[in-house]
Amino acid sequence: MSQKLFNRIHQNHLIYNICWEDPRVDRKAMRLDQDSRILMITSAGCNALDYLLDNPEEIHCVDLNPAQNALLELKIAAIKCFEYKDYYQLIGLGGHRDIERRFGELEAHMSGESAAFWRSRLKRLAVPGYIQRMGTCGLYGRLCRGYFRVTGLHKTLNRLLAEGDSQKAAEIFDQKVMRHPALRLVKAAMDMSRLSYLLGVPRTQVNLLEGTHRMTLGNFIRDAIRSVAVAEHPDNYFYHVYLNGAYTPEALPDYLKPDNFDTLRARVDRIQATTGDLAEYACNNPHHFSHLVLLDHMDWLSEKPEQLHDHFTELNASLQAGGRLLWRSAATYEGFLALIKPVMRDSYTLDQELAESLHQECRVKTYGSMFIADKQVFA
């Protein structure tokens, strides 16, 4: 029943209204240039747009969920059609008051399926903040935000995000947040599998996390929140937007910054969005890509080693010799390495030092580990 519920949510609804992988870290890991050709999972499309700033040749975004591609296509269309002010109003502020009149401009740059998705939501898309409220992650954010306001924790959490002194932030968190009943309730809620589905976390991933970290999902999230609170990242837009329901000028993803708009417009045609299976898409493009970005996709197959092997083999066929593979896991580094090493055999070289260093820089803190692997070049 639980797996059926998870599948139903993921196949019929938008899940992610922002990407929960830090693109700043990704860009350091991938070292993109004008010859880079990327295959990636779409998610909310934010990171594909950020990658464009490094001037890759192509970005292929693939997702089984058409709603995720619809969100990316809306962003691409707005970059093509709107000036920055209107683009920011729609995507950054989450709604455009004149969208019903102007949607025809955007629709011309979307697939029929994505245009229909947004046409059925135009009245809601005219209200500021709608995109930030969308999806099951958006719903979870609204629930937490409302609860934090009612319980008086909201101001304290905002203060922590703005705090520039990590030691002082740690003191505030330990004294005013850690013992707060609101945090304990959120932690308990995260331990309910059906609520974790709202965040796109399947049971297999929860099992992997709890088995390798030796703690519950709720405790892991609690510790992640503390790590975010004490890190000196005033531009941590991931939590600003979920805590307040809107981006702020001081904490924006790069693809929403005004100085990057003209660059995005000049390059946005390099992104191609496809609804379908990632492995199947990879099989149809042998040896084409220089980079594969898998998010936490392989965690979902962690309890099915034969499927993991077959899936990895299909993805591997699309990557050029010398190409780079990037993914994350809820597991510890050693925990997931034990699963993936028999699959990778000797065909990849893992850069554990770089991966662990960049994992520490990540502003999100909700993954257990990060992996960077280079495909061997055989003479």
Q: Is 245 exposed, middle or buried (0-12, 13-18, 19+ CB in 10 A)?
A: middle
**DSSP per position, 210-231:** HHHHSS-HHHHHHHHHHHHHHS
Identify the residue whose tokens are 């499927």: 307
Which pLDDT value is given to residue 191? 64
Residues in the chain: 379
Q: What percent of the chain clears pLDDT 90, i.e. is strictly above it?
A: 58
Residues 372 and 325 sit within 8 Å (Cβ to Cβ)? yes
Which pLDDT value is given to residue 220? 83
Nearest to 255 by CA among 102, 27, 40: 27
pLDDT tens readout for residues 177-230: 887 887 777 767 666 555 666 666 777 888 888 888 888 877 887 888 888 888
Q: Which of 90-94, 235-239, 255-259, 342-346 has the lowest mean pLDDT?
A: 342-346
Instruction: Determine the residue type at 182.
Output: A
Q: What is the mean pLDDT of residues 35-42?
A: 98
> What are the φ/ψ torsions at residue 152 (nearest 5 degrees)?
85, 10
Residue 173 has pLDDT above 90, yes or no: no
Most confidently modeled range among 17-26, 135-144, 310-319: 17-26
pLDDT tens readout for residues 236-264: 999 989 888 889 888 999 999 999 999 99
More confident site: 54 or 244: 54
- Measured distance CA(133)–CA(114) in Å, rounded: 19
| pTM for this prediction | 0.92
